[in-house]
Amino acid sequence: MSKTMSKTMSGPILKVDKVGKTFVQGVHQVEALADISFSVMAGECFAVVGESGSGKSTLANLILGIYPPTTGTISYAGEPLPAKRQLVHRRAIQLVQQNPLSALNPKRTIGASLRLALDVHGIGAPSERRDIVGGLLEEVGLPAEFASRAPAALSGGQRQRVSIARALACQSALLVLDEPTSALDVLVQARVLKLLEKLRRKHNLTYIFITHDLCVVRNIADRVAVFEKGRLIELAATETLFTRPQTPYTRALISAVPVVSEEEERLRQRLGEPQNAIG
């Protein structure tokens, strides 16, 4: 594998093949994921949806290498990822967390947090890194002078932009976005989603977008994987999933999405699911 794991490729960038994860709690075993298989294409926004406890976060942790799968393999750029990830793997696949305040060291300035990623991965000459940090901030819509601020001095939306900038600093091909907008108000959420879409197209990034919010999914995802109780029960293009869902669980999830048009109200009536089908 190359030092930077080049992101200029066609075809699947990530392949999950018959992956399962079982946790041992005392004398009990808890099966969090079972027999999960799918591929994510380079440049795609691939959404993973489901209720709490459906296995979404477990899947994200396996892809990031936080812990290994019990069964099956996960491959990146055509090569199986090892159970113990090396620095090159951590650079290639980055996480954008739900709560950026907990992800940023409160004792470091914004600039220091971004600079750390550059230092760890040896990106740019040391004399250039201050300018790189300024450029990263400007790319996510923040002034370069924000580098001197502490995380607590920023709003929630600004901190999430910093988290996105930190992932960009690593020149990663694949971002795992774990509920990246759920802690933001609606207007800020829309701005962050617009930024993510702009960056994806500019840098040919691939997103695995973990969320429970189907309103967000409909506006950003190319394909959607629906998880229920640790199993992948449906996988389809976004428009297909919303107009022709195949399972009762998916229909119930869609029925719980707030109606914003007469067309969506007619679709809900055709699906025949009550609005409160999912508690």
Same domain flag for 166 and 255: no
pLDDT at 244: 93
Q: Domain range for residue 260?
A: 245-279
Total of domains in the chain: 2
Same domain flag for 75 and 97: yes
pLDDT at 19: 97
Is residue 141 domain-resident?
yes
Strand partners, 98: none
Same domain flag for 227 and 263: no
In this structure, is the dihedral angle defined by the CA atoms of residues 92, 200, 135 and 116, taken in order, positive or negative? negative
pLDDT in tens, the chain (279 residues): 444 454 455 679 999 999 999 998 888 899 999 999 999 999 999 999 998 889 999 999 999 999 999 999 999 999 999 988 889 999 999 999 888 777 788 999 999 999 999 999 999 999 999 999 999 999 999 999 999 999 999 998 999 999 999 999 999 999 999 988 887 888 888 899 999 999 999 999 999 999 988 888 988 999 999 999 999 999 999 999 999 999 999 999 988 776 555 555 555 455 554 433 333
Same domain flag for 249 and 196: no
pLDDT at 224: 97
pLDDT at 265: 53
Same domain flag for 159 and 145: yes
In this structure, is the dihedral angle defined by the CA atoms of residues 164, 92, 88 and 5, taken in order, positive or negative? negative
Return all residues near 108 (Cβ < 8 A) that are at least 6 apart. Answer: 116, 150, 151
pLDDT at 165: 94
pLDDT at 188: 87
Smallest CA-to-CA distance from 172 within 133, 210, 206 is with: 206
pLDDT at 259: 56
Same domain flag for 210 and 275: no
Rounded to whole angstroms, the Cα distance separating 100 from 183 reads 9
Same domain flag for 217 and 258: no
Same domain flag for 145 and 256: no
Is residue 253 domain-resident?
yes
Same domain flag for 206 and 95: yes
